[in-house]
Amino acid sequence: MKPYKNKINRIRTFALSLVFIGIVIMYVGIYFKNQPLVMVIFMLLGVLAVVGSTGVYAWIGLLSMKTVPVECPNCGKQTKMLGRVDMCMHCNEPLTMDPSLEGKEFNEEYNKKNS
Ligand SMILES: [Zn+2]
């Protein structure tokens, strides 16, 4: 298994899981019907998680403007790249924008340098 994933996909998964976490927290709150204060705290936390995910989605929207659409040389599909190195959304093929990094071992550290 390859340890890296396409960044946009990864953030999207995070935003989606945040929605589910929010729903689960609110669901747990229902069990505290007899303690309105505890229920309200759970509800607020749940709403906060859902609102947070909306923020993450907005962030994805901003990031998407900075992504570069490229055609993956491995599977031939269109994918979006973020940063100097990223993975193909469809097949996790490592891709690079920097010709000097071509052929080198994939390393996400390349994104942190010079940024
Ligand atoms: Zn691909």
Distance, CA 20 to ligand 1 centroid (Å)? 29
Fill in the amino acid letter for 8.
I
Fill in the amino acid letter for 18.
L
This prediction's pTM: 0.73
Distance, CA 19 to ligand 1 centroid (Å)? 28
Total number of residues shown for the chain: 115
**What pLDDT is stored for residue 100 in this prediction?**
81
Q: What is the pLDDT of residues 49-108, one digit of tens each?
A: 999 999 999 999 998 888 989 999 999 999 999 888 899 999 988 888 888 877 777 777
Q: What is the pLDDT of residues 10-46, one digit of tens each?
A: 999 999 999 999 999 999 999 998 999 999 999 999 9
The confidence band for 115, taking pLDDT boundaries of 50, 70 and 90, is very low
Distance, CA 44 to ligand 1 centroid (Å)? 41
Q: In 3-104, where does DSSP find H-type helix?
A: 7-30, 36-66
